[in-house]
């Protein structure tokens, strides 16, 4: 439940008029899915009807037709801009469509938001936007309040402006403390921050999810699950906490945990939550099941789910690299060739250089090198990734396990094999 001291400054959704189905249409690239999902969760909790393509579209739907129809039946739209979207023709086309609709329909409100330091493109310079670059894990603070006013076409009152500024400061302080606690390997500090119950933790699930992800990275899955139960109780409609609960259970790895994780993620999938995050974590549980069963069908199920997610969202490198690795694990000539194809697509997305400060993107570059049997390059890139996240034992263990399995299938010489594995020691 969103706290009353926050709700009194948050405008309610506008009533839907004739022909209107959606309060808000979310326009984004799937690479930004986690951020968008946290925004979706906040809007749903506040009573908005939200169009998010992967939660509404069904297999067989004509994508362009359905998107245009949903936009026509929406009161407002939010376009999410990021570094990953900067070269996309889609962004310019989508922006032009939304701007045209806003000009022709004065009751339709269009709000661009940027979620990292990348500047908005020239074609958007004449539009007032909201800068969420201080909130890379999901909307929070005063900027969230400003966005909520923007999508209903209201200005903030002087009292709301003061409150928004206070929330900016409080959220920024909590984010900095969570990041420091992860860097310093202090899970108890993360738990204490959550337990103190500052308003940014209670107004949106995004900050609590950031704390949970930190605990998962530090391999404190038991504590992560305790926090997740509280977040889910507070925000029962939110999707992201349920995804993270599935991940924490899978990372803990007991037989019962895998069953529980698959139940959570399977239900999300059956409810048409076909985003790469849900599909990717669900696929991971089938890999965990394969580890225990040694049944090749469990491995194929894992690969197929990753591949389906990547085919739906071809700019999502996480599902792409896992579709590649699992194809290599299956090991037939056809599947190995398919794995190499996925790895090439991922490399086209993320390049061959490290991304400073980003463990997972850099480790993915390393994994592509490994699949390509470039063992020295892989070892160097894994070492660089680990240097960005030395306290994140859960993340590093996950990469080590995947690399070990790949080496078993790729069968390098002892020198090359040890060159890669010694990085993880």
Structure tokens at 22: 């959606």
Start-to-end C-alpha separation, the chain: 45
Q: What confidence tens digit (pLDDT) does each residue in 340-358 have?
A: 999 999 999 999 999 999 9
Q: Whole-prediction pTM value?
A: 0.80
Distance set, CA 194 to CA 151, 228, 232, 314, 395 (Å): 29, 11, 14, 35, 22
Distance set, CA 101 to CA 45, 95, 104, 110, 394 (Å): 27, 10, 5, 9, 46
Please name every residue paired with 25 in a beta bridge, in sequence order, or none if there are none. 51, 77
- What number of CA atoms fall less than 13 Å from residue 141's CA on the CB side? 20
Q: What confidence tens digit (pLDDT) does each residue in 34-82 have?
A: 788 889 988 998 999 999 876 554 444 434 567 788 888 999 999 888 8
Please name every residue paired with 114 in a beta bridge, in sequence order, or none if there are none. 81, 131
Q: What confidence tens digit (pLDDT) does each residue in 142-198 have?
A: 889 999 999 999 999 999 999 999 998 998 999 999 999 999 999 999 999 999 988
């Amino acid at each position: 439940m969103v706290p009353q001291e926050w709700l009194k400054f948050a405008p309610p959704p506008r009533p839907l008029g004739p022909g209107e189905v959606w309060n808000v249409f979310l326009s984004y690239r799937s690479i930004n899915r986690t951020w968008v999902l946290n925004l979706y969760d906040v809007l749903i909790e506040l009573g908005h009807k939200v169009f998010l393509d992967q939660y509404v579209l069904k297999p067989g739907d004509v994508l362009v037709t359905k998107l245009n129809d949903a936009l026509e039946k929406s009161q407002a739209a939010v376009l999410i801009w990021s570094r990953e979207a900067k070269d996309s023709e889609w962004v310019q086309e989508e922006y032009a469509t939304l701007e045209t609709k806003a000009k022709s329909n004065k009751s339709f409100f269009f709000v661009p938001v940027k979620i990292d330091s990348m500047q908005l493109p020239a074609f958007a310079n004449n539009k007032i936007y909201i800068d969420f670059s201080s909130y890379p894990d999901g909307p929070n603070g005063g900027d969230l309040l400003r966005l909520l006013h923007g999508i209903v076409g209201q200005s903030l009152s002087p009292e709301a402006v003061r409150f928004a500024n206070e929330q900016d400061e409080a959220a920024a302080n909590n984010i900095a403390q969570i990041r420091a606690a992860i860097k310093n390997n202090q899970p108890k500090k993360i738990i204490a921050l959550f337990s103190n119950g500052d308003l940014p933790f209670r107004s949106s699930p995004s900050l609590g999810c950031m704390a949970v992800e930190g605990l998962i990275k530090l391999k404190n899955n038991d504590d992560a699950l305790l926090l997740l139960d509280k977040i889910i109780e507070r925000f029962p409609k939110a999707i992201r906490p349920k995804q993270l609960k599935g991940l924490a259970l899978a990372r803990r790895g007991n037989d019962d945990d895998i069953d529980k994780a698959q139940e959570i993620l399977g239900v999300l999938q059956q409810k048409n939550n076909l985003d790469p995050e849900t599909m990717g974590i669900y696929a991971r549980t089938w890999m965990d099941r394969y580890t225990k069963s040694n049944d090749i069908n469990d491995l194929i199920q894992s690969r197929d789910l990753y591949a389906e997610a990547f085919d739906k969202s071809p700019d999502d490198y996480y599902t792409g690299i896992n579709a590649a690795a699992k194809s290599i694990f299956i090991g037939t000539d056809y599947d190995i060739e398919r794995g190499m194809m996925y790895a090439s697509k991922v490399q086209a997305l993320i390049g061959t250089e490290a991304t400073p400060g980003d463990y997972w993107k850099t480790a993915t570059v390393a994994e592509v090198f490994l699949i390509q049997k470039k063992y020295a390059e892989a070892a160097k890139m894994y070492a660089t990734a680990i240097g960005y996240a030395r306290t994140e034992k859960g993340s590093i263990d996950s990469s080590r396990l995947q690399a070990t399995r790949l080496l078993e299938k790729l069968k390098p010489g002892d020198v090359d094999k040890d060159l890669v594995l010694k990085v993880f020691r």
